[in-house]
Structure 1
Amino acid sequence: MKRKKQIIVSVTNDLVSDNRVHKVCTSLEKMGFSVLLVGRKLKNSQQLNRNYQTHRMRLCFTKGACFYAEYNFRLFLVLLFRKADVLLANDLDALAANYLASKIKRTELVYDSHEYFTEVPELIGRPRVKRIWEWLESKMLPNLNHCYTVCDSIAAVYSEKYGVPFQVVRNIPIGNTTVPKIKKEKREKIILYQGAVNIGRGLEQAIKAMHFIDGAQLVVAGDGDIKDQLEELVHNEKLQEKVHFTGRLSIEELSKLTPTADLGLSIEEDLGLNYRFALPNKLFDYIRAGVPVLASDLPEMKAIVERYAIGAISNSHDPKKLAESIHAALNDEGKRNIWKANLVQSSKELTWENEEKVLKGIFSEFL
């Protein structure tokens, strides 16, 4: 019997809510690989139940330079001493260990860039740290043969910068899953933000906008660096009755929450190229769940929203103007009926099964 090819997939998060990585691993299993997904375990990490192997490392550090150094050192040891035919690194912060291990073991290396890492808002205004990441990137990316990323804009930037072709695999939901049918009785409307609770996501402005919106509540589903600050902001603005935080949710929990929303927010600010070219997972999750979208006037998101006519574009992050956009998107029934009909049609085209074809093209040569 032919031995299954082994692939080790690595990412710096705790695996619980990373839908993109989960879908990639599931696709690789379907292709015939034996998959091991490596991440880290946090104090509050939920249990995992996956159809592939997982390994989560308990680390002493949780952020900053010490975290990245410890993570990559520990990951390097895992990659060095476990059998693998292919390594798949997710994002620049997991690439160093994979790159070194692939050179030592002469193993195939594939790189999945989830974002334009060196242009994330967390590095804007930190030129020394940014230069370190850019230096690491410049030493590794030109030597990679198999790369893909989340949208055309980021692929074009990387290809031009390093002379390496990047393919595109968008983070689109699986098409053959059943979205729960939610009976929406008379209640306050739900404005949903789901995803990382970090700077530049328009969350502070969305919270302040709730002063000008009645008959609706804002639900923030996720966790991140500024969650505590936002909770304090809600308290200071006396908006506890209008804004609610769920904390981090599993993929399964989120799939039940999303269809209950009346409007999904994807209102990233233009803080550097990473957000300018953003094509967030949540945008496609809203589409799959049949939820109209309010998105920022940024090229990749705007192109999807306008091409499929499934929501509106906000031209301002001023809280009062943002509230006007939210109010219109919630209450213009004529437009909402059109959007909902288009959401049904677009969700048939925007499926992971179509994106999976690119993955098969990349990984089939290793089988």
Structure 2
Amino acid sequence: MKVILAVTNDIATDRRVQRIGSTLLRQGADVVIVGRKRKDSLSISHLPFKHKRIRLLFNRGALFYAEYNIRLFIWLCIQPADIITANDLDTLPAVYLCCKLKKITAVYDSHEHFTEVPELINRRLIKKIWAWIESAIVPHIHFASTVSEPIAQDLQQRYHRSFTVIRNLPEKKIIENHFPLSFTFPDKPVIIYQGSVNIDRGLEEMIEAMKHITSAILIIAGDGDIQHQLRIRVKSLQLNNRVYFTGRLQPDQLLALTQKAAIGISLEKDRGLNYRYALPNKLFDYIMSGVPVLVSALPEMKKIVQQYNIGVLIDEVTPEAISQAIHGMLENTELYKIWKQNLKIAADQLCWENEEGLVIELYQRAGLK
């Protein structure tokens, strides 16, 4: 059977979609992932499944979403397929219309609570448009998944559809591979942030905190809307020797870098249900790499950190709170050893090998044979 997975990104760093694609491939499916081609897109020739990246005239805003969905719809309609998956709301219009036209199965994987992201909080009209699209289509989707239990419950209440919870857990086996880094940093403990460099992720406050942290360096591994502003702020604070930006990295490079870190941060603010209920990829990547964490005390992340005792929670994302927590983590060597031991237990349980059965079950219900 042929399964097409549609995304709006360029596929290269979408580990969730890559993991699901690999799982379906092992089940004997003919898997194709379709996304977009950007000027700075990383190579994906190493991926084990087929892929298609669409070049666009527009790369931001309403014209981007309109152009991509039109081009995606046309491309999907001429492809033979048994199941097509819309990854996130921004691919759902094209996927749903194509599946309805061709009378094939649509699957919806909501990577986040799309209408509750911080970027939409103060953009009421845009939020209403996305909410209307979601309410018009999701009630007609019979096979759906998302990333955390509270998001699943909220979507189920809104649209009376069942959502399978499939968390963003990394592969356990990949930790056995070690890759050389292609860049160097000062020989100090590394505080790492990995992921999208966007608003309300505590990065501005983390950079401010680095004024008071001289015994470690901060590495921001990723790209996003506010990276330019953050670089300017780092320069203005004269922190170029303490804060480093790598841009987007291939998964093997990111893994190698994360494994060398002393602390992993995930400092999302409580702005909108998307962040409140978040279970980010990076949290589980830190765990798999054996890195103690400093995270916001938001409900879902708090549960993980407290259940396994693998780091520190902060109630307020402020430079002062961050600085105090970082110093405490680096100075309390006995507690740090306990976290490191507990991380081994957490990593053994929170891995893709234990989660992918949910993917197989979902797609078998959708018709995968």
**Preserved contact between residue 158 and residue 164 of structure 1 (Cα < 8 Å):** yes
| Structure-2 separation of matches of 1:205 and 1:74 | 40
Q: In structure 2, what is the equivalent of residue 353 of structure 1?
A: 353
**Kindly, what percent of the aligned residue pairs are identical?**
46
Amino acid at match of 1:84: A
Give deviations 1:188-231, integer Å, cap 9, x for gaps: 11000000000011000000000111110000000001000100
Tell me how far 1:59 sits from its aligned partner: 0.5
Asked if the contact 2:259–2:291 (Cα under 8 Å) also holds between the matched residues in 1, the reply is: yes
Find the counterpart in structure 2 of residue 226 from structure 1. 226
C-alpha distance in structure 1 between counterparts of 2:23 and 2:319, whole Å: 41
Of 20, 23, 48, which residue of structure 2 is paired with 1:24? Answer: 20
The SS at the match of 1:153 is: helix
Cα offset for 1:271? 1.1
Q: Output one character per residue of 1:53-110: Cα deviation in whole Å (capped at 9) or x when no partner.
A: 0000110111100000001001001110000000011000011000100100001011
Match of 1:262 in 2: 262
Give the distance between the partners of 1:68 and 1:110, measured in 2 at CA.
Answer: 20
Q: Which runs of structure 1 show a deviation greater than 3 angstroms over 4 or more consecutive aligned residues?
A: 178-183
Which whole-Å CA distance do the structure 2 matches of 1:167 and 1:364 have between them? Answer: 13
Q: Distance in 2 between matches of 1:101 and 1:180?
A: 40
Q: TM-score, normalized by length of structure 1?
A: 0.96
Contact map agreement 1:9 1:38 (CA 8 A) in 2: yes
The equivalences for 1:232-271 within 5 A come to 232-271=232-271
Q: Secondary structure at the match of 1:337?
A: helix
Give the AA of the match of 1:236. S
CA–CA distance in structure 1, aligned partners of residues 73 and 178 of structure 2:
45
In the alignment, what sits opposite 2:157? 160
Amino acid at match of 2:24: L
For 1:179 and 1:287, the matched residues in 2 are separated by: 14
Query: 1:18–1:251: 8 Å Cα contact kept in structure 2?
Result: no
> Quick one: which amino acid aligns to residue 347 of structure 1?
A
Q: One-letter code of the match for 1:106? A: K
- The answer to whether the 8 Å contact 1:89/1:112 transfers is yes
Q: CA RMSD in A?
A: 1.5
Deviation at 1:181, TM superposition (A): 6.6
- CA offsets, 1:312-332, max 9 Å, x none? 101221212211011112221
Q: Which secondary structure does the structure 1 equivalent of 2:85 belong to?
A: strand
Amino acid at match of 2:68: Y
Aligned partner of residue 178 in structure 1, secondary structure: helix
Q: 1:264-279 alignment to 2 at 5 Å?
A: 264-279=264-279
Structure 1 distance, partners of 2:91, 2:318, is 36
Give the distance between the partners of 2:228 and 2:326, measured in 1 at CA.
24
Q: 1:286 is aligned with what amino acid?
A: Y
Task: Report the residue type matching 1:310 in the other structure.
Answer: I
Matching residue within 50, 60, 65 for 1:68: 65
Q: Which ranges in structure 2 are unaligned for 5 or more consecutive residues?
A: 181-185
* Alpha-carbon separation, structure 2, partners of 1:95 and 1:332: 48
* SS of equivalent residue, structure 1 residue 207: helix
The residue aligned with 1:178 is: 175
Kept after mapping to 2: 8 A contact 1:87/1:109: yes
Distance 1:96 1:340 in 2: 45
Structure 1 CA distance for aligned equivalents of residues 175 and 148 of structure 2: 26
Match of residue 12 from structure 1? 8
Structure 1 residues 39 and 181 mapped into 2: Cα distance closer, same or farther (>3 Å)? closer
2:121 corresponds to 1:124 = yes
Any unmatched runs of 5+ in structure 1?
A: none
Of stretches 172-181 and 20-29 in structure 1, the one that deviates more from structure 2 is 172-181
Give the match for residue 183 of structure 2: none
- Aligned counterparts of 2:346 and 2:256: Cα–Cα separation in 1: 20
The answer to whether structure 1 residue 34 and structure 2 residue 34 are counterparts is: no
Whichever residue aligns with residue 148 of structure 2, its letter is C
Further displaced range: 321-330 or 25-34: 321-330
Deviates more, 1:160-169 or 1:328-337: 328-337
| Matched residue, 2:84 | 87
Partner Cα separation in structure 2 for residue 324 and residue 63 of structure 1: 38
The answer as to 2:283 corresponding to 1:283 is: yes
The answer as to whether partners of 1:9 and 1:37 remain within 8 angstroms in 2 is yes
1:77 matches 2:74: yes
1:179·1:289 contact (CA, 8 Å) conserved in 2? Answer: no
SS at structure 1 position matched to 2:31: strand
Aligned residues of 2:179 and 2:256 also touching (Cα < 8 A) = no
CA offsets per residue over residues 142-166 of structure 1, 9 Å max, x none?
1110001001010010011111011
Whether the aligned pair in 2 keeps the contact of 1:182 and 1:259 (CA below 8 Å) is no
- The Cα shift of 1:335 comes to 1.0
Structure 1 residue 294 corresponds to structure 2 residue 294:
yes
CA-CA distance at 1:177 after TM superposition: 2.3
Q: Residue type of the partner of 2:123?
A: R
CA 1:182–1:65: 2 relative to 1, 3 Å: closer
Letter in 1 for 2:66: A
Tell me the CA shift for residue 111 of structure 1: 0.6
- Distance of 1:182 and 1:57 partners within structure 2: 30
Counterpart of 1:329?
Answer: 329
Rounded to whole Å, the distance in 2 between the matches of 1:115 and 1:170 is 11
Q: Cα distance, 1:44 vs. partner?
A: 1.0
CA distance in 2, matches of 1:274, 1:52: 30
Distance 1:305 1:320 in 2: 21
Contact 2:179 2:252 in 1 (8 A): no
The match for 2:138 is 141
What corresponds to 1:59 in structure 2?
56
Q: Which moved more, 1:348-357 or 1:286-295?
A: 348-357
Question: Structure 1 counterpart of 2:22, which letter?
Answer: T
